[in-house]
């Protein structure tokens, strides 16, 4: 569900009020211009489905009905120009539900990147205590948040696992979700992370939404996990210990990471703010607002 219909209702209502007074309020004009801008952006997006080869040819996406892919250039436009984030390196694209998009409400978007730091050993996968890891991550928040504050970002608290980390050793897929609280947010943020292990690195897909969208993401996650695949020669099984690099971390390191330092990217993700509109005694604010989120890695 989008909030655009409500915007149109608002526009009609306040237009009637202002026209009755014989003039058109500047706030209504601003709202009209914003709606025109949204329409132009929506119509310019060139979504794709089917088999898509990611830049570099090391992996493909098989995007089925119910989902749609947006290429790197358009994804970077959304991330930086629409969502107000710093420019990002290595964004390969974004994956949306079929009814999703940059302005969609009650939805999510997976940002796709590749970390070519090397082959990640998974020997520790069965030995990790994620409850203990959560406590350690929370204990590290004080220093992490000092660094974030110095960089001009708000503090973040990891409330807990929205979905405890799970590693599929057969398919070499790791996924988990964090429940995050941003200092300036009205509600908690969901950060759902997927890692597909390959011969030379890890393909990452990070989705951010509000905690209200957790059930939606969980409903789709099995389908999402089947969309990406490494090409022949780049799969985990293709690792050559004589020639290939081994990453400096294992499964536990992928989950723990420097989580809070990475979230600067999503400090404004899904945060498109409309102008406050005050007319006929009513204020309208954050009509297309989405909540904060956390950075892709």
Instruction: Check residue 287 and report its DSSP letter.
Output: T
> Domain extents for the chain?
4-284
Tokens representing 117 are 């730091």
Across the range 246-263, mean pLDDT stands at 74
Whole-model pTM over 0.75: yes
The yes-or-no verdict on residue 85 having pLDDT over 80 is no
Count Cβ atoms within 10 A of the Cβ of residue 3 and give its class: 0-12 exposed, 13-18 middle, 19 or more buried. middle
Q: Do the Cβ atoms of 287 and 10 come closer than 8 Å?
A: yes
Instruction: Please report, for residues 1, 70, 190, the alpha-carbon distance to residue 213 in angstroms, rounded to integers and kept in the order given.
Output: 12, 21, 8
Across the range 250-270, mean pLDDT stands at 57
What is the per-residue pLDDT for 23? 54
The yes-or-no verdict on residue 261 having pLDDT over 50 is no
The yes-or-no verdict on residue 257 having pLDDT over 80 is no
Residues 6+ apart with CB under 8 A from 92: 54, 55, 72, 75, 112, 113, 114
What is the per-residue pLDDT for 167? 97
Tokens representing 80 are 């930086």
Residues 6+ apart with CB under 8 A from 16: none
Tokens 């989950």 map to which residue? 255
Tokens representing 60 are 């493909």
Homologous superfamily of domain range 4-284: Mog1/PsbP, alpha/beta/alpha sandwich (3.40.1000.10)
Minimal CA–CA distance to 290: which of 221, 215, 213, 224? 213
Percent of the chain at pLDDT exceeding 70: 78
Minimal CA–CA distance to 146: which of 137, 138, 156? 156
- Rounded to 10 degrees, the C-alpha dihedral 227/230/236/238 comes to 150
Higher pLDDT, 147 or 292: 147
**Within 10 A of 134 (CB to CB), how many other CB atoms are there?**
19
Higher pLDDT, 260 or 234: 234
The yes-or-no verdict on residue 149 having pLDDT over 70 is yes
What are the two backbone dihedrals, phi and then psi, of residue 99, each rounded to the nearest 5 degrees? Answer: -95, 10
User: What is the rounded average pLDDT for all residues in the chain?
Assistant: 80
Instruction: Check residue 266 and report its DSSP letter.
Output: G
Distance CA 214, CA 162 (A): 8
């Amino acid at each position: 569900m989008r909030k655009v219909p409500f915007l149109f209702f608002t526009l009609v209502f306040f237009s009637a009020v202002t026209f009755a007074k014989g003039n058109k309020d500047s706030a209504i004009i601003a709202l009209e211009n914003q709606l025109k801008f949204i329409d132009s952006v929506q119509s310019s997006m060139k979504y794709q489905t089917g088999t898509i080869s990611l830049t570099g040819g090391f992996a493909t996406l098989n995007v089925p009905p119910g989902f749609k892919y947006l290429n790197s250039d358009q994804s970077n436009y959304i991330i930086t120009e629409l969502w107000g984030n710093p420019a990002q390196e290595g964004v390969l694209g974004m994956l949306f539900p079929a009814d999703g998009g940059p302005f969609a409400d009650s939805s999510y978007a997976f940002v796709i990147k590749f970390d070519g730091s090397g082959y990640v050993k998974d020997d520790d996968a069965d030995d990790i205590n994620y409850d203990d890891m959560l406590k350690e991550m929370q204990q590290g928040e004080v220093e992490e948040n000092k660094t974030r504050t110095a960089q001009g970002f708000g503090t973040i608290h990891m409330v807990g696992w929205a979905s405890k980390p799970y590693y599929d050793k057969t398919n070499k897929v790791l996924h988990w979700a964090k429940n995050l609280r941003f200092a300036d947010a009205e509600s908690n943020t969901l950060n759902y992370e997927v890692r597909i292990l390959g011969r030379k690195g890890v393909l990452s897909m990070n989705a951010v939404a509000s905690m209200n969208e957790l059930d939606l993401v969980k409903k789709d996650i099995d389908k999402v996990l089947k969309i990406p695949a490494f090409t022949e020669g780049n799969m985990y099984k293709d690792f050559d210990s004589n020639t290939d690099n081994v990453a400096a971390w294992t499964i536990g390191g992928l989950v723990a990471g420097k989580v809070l330092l990475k979230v600067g990217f999503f400090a404004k993700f899904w945060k498109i703010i409309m102008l406050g509109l005050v007319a006929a005694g009513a204020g309208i604010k954050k009509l297309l607002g989405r909540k904060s989120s956390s950075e892709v890695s």
